[in-house]
Amino acid sequence: NAGVTQTPKFRVLKTGQSMTLLCAQDMNHEYMYWYRQDPGMGLRLIHYSVGEGTTAKGEVPDGYNVSRLKKQNFLLGLESAAPSQTSVYFCASSYPGQGVFEAFFGQGTRLTVV
């Protein structure tokens, strides 16, 4: 039972390069999220998805795009990386129901943009 798996775990990019972070969950969760964690800032929501084919902006969406073509996968793209996007990225998933349930987080991706 893998839970939420993020690929890659570490990456160094040069300014202007592009990349895609992959998140996969095997819990059949409807909801998926991308957060970024910066020192002293806690975690902030970038984008989220409430189902296959749907996405929505979170608190800090600029510079990122996302896609949810399959229920189990949620991709985060950086089209032209900037040093300000150096961060630890966490993917999470949860299931809808009566109320709000805890999110299950991946291990994180440490991205450095130089």
Partner 1 sequence: AQKVTQAQTEISVVEKEDVTLDCVYETRDTTYYLFWYKQPPSGELVFLIRRNSFDEQNEISGRYSWNFQKSTSSFNFTITASQVVDSAVYFCALSEASGYSTLTFGKGTMLLVSP
What are the residues binding partner 1 (CB under 8 A)?
31, 33, 35, 40-45, 48, 50, 56, 58, 88, 90, 92, 94, 96, 99-105, 107-108
Residues 82 and 10: their CA atoms lie apart, in Å, by 16
Alpha-carbon 55 to chain mean position: 12
The nearest distance, CB 31 to partner 1, in angstroms, is: 5
| Closer to partner 1 by Cβ: residue 4 or 78 | 4
| Closer to partner 1 by Cβ: residue 47 or 81 | 47
Residues 76 and 95: their CA atoms lie apart, in Å, by 20
Burial state string for 101-111 with b = 16 or more CB within 10 A and e = fewer than 16: eebebbebbeb
Please tell me what DSSP assigns to residue 58.
-
| Closer to partner 1 by Cβ: residue 85 or 109 | 109
